[in-house]
Amino acid sequence: MKSRKIGVFDSGIGGVTVLKEIIKILPNEDYIYYSDSTNNPYGDKDDETIINICDKITKKLIDKNCKAIVIACNTASAKASHYLRNKYLQIPIIAIEPACKMIYDYAYDEPTLIMATKGTIESEKFQLLYKKYNNQKTYLLPCAGLADSIEKENSKAVKVYLKEHVKPYKGKVKNVVLGCTHYPLIKKEIREILGDVKFFNGESNLAKHLKEVLRKNNLLDDNTGNIQFIDSQGLEDKEKRFFSIIKR
Ligand code: DGL
């Protein structure tokens, strides 16, 4: 019998930062990771386009025997999670979101830079979250093009971007919310620009929440911890990069 799996998707490599946290607490589940190179980047696409893309991926993952779906992309979560949850009622859909609540709970008095894609920051879902946990000490930075440079491993473009758009916050902020799943991959580069800031992201809370949802729905399995990687363009270099980050 085919094992039941957890489907995880992102526009590309970024969601690996989510999957890594999930594996720490659910090592014996089987996974399918779907990297959507064909439609990357999501960050500047309109709502309808993102919803259609995510709908197709979710259907594909369910057809491949996924018992739960993790949207490992803040932009896709912000724009499509509501639609997907209403459409696929039979299956838990867990969605990442920027760690605004963590700042409110653990760093209320400290100035914080919130980095996310333009799509996430402009979304209704993010604006509601932001207003709910606003401590009046946050700077919002829509990082147009940054996730794309990370995806393409264009380290020069990443450095130029950080110097131009992030450096002005040096000395002004103590914390950074990494509100895009690609950004944990450039923590070192952000620290080089901003100094010793603290990072906040939603990955580990999502992992705990996923475990709890699976437990409540009687969906926990004791499988082999197998991870299948699918790239929508079949890019082998992406697969290699994916597994090298997973093992790190
Ligand atoms: N990794 C995605 C996120 O968390 C976005 C990257 C993209 O723009 O495609 O928002």
Residues 97-128 pLDDT 10s: 999 999 999 999 999 999 999 999 999 999 99
Residue 44, pLDDT score = 87
Residue 3, pLDDT score = 83
Closest CA to 6 of 231, 228, 234: 228
The answer to whether 5-97+203-246 and 100-200 have equal CATH topology is yes
Q: How much of the chain, in percent, has pLDDT values that exceed 90?
A: 98
CA of 221 relative to ligand 1 center, distance in Å: 29
| Residue type for position 130 | Y
CATH second-level architecture of 100-200?
3-Layer(aba) Sandwich (3.40)
**Which of 96, 115, 182 should be mutated for ligand 1, with most atoms under 8 A from CB?**
182
Handedness of CA 122, 81, 182, 198 (dihedral sign): positive
Residue 237, pLDDT score = 94
Q: Which residue has the tokens 């270099």?
A: 237
Residue 2 has pLDDT above 80, yes or no: no
In CATH, the number for domain 5-97+203-246 is 3.40.50.1860
Residue 236 has pLDDT above 70, yes or no: yes
CA of 39 relative to ligand 1 center, distance in Å: 11
CA of 137 relative to ligand 1 center, distance in Å: 25
pTM (2 decimals)? 0.97
Active site residue 180: yes
Please state the rounded mean pLDDT for residues 196-215.
Answer: 97
Where exactly are the structural domains of the chain?
A: 5-97+203-246, 100-200
CA atoms within 13 A on the CB side of 83: 18
Mind listing the pLDDT tens digit for each residue in 56-92? 999 999 999 999 999 999 999 999 999 999 999 999 9
| Residue type for position 220 | L
Please state the rounded mean pLDDT for residues 199-211.
Answer: 97
d(CA 196, CA 193) in angstroms, rounded, equals 9
Using DSSP, how many helices (H) and how many strands (E) does the chain show?
Answer: 11, 9
Contact status, residue 58 vs residue 88, Cβ threshold 8 Å: yes
Mind listing the pLDDT tens digit for each residue in 133-185? 999 999 999 999 999 999 999 999 999 999 999 999 999 999 999 999 999 99
Determine whether the shortest distance from the Cβ of 39 to ligand 1 is under 6 A.
no
Nearest alpha carbon, ligand 1 atom 2: 73
Active site residue 73: yes
d(CA 212, CA 153) in angstroms, rounded, equals 35
d(CA 225, CA 23) in angstroms, rounded, equals 8
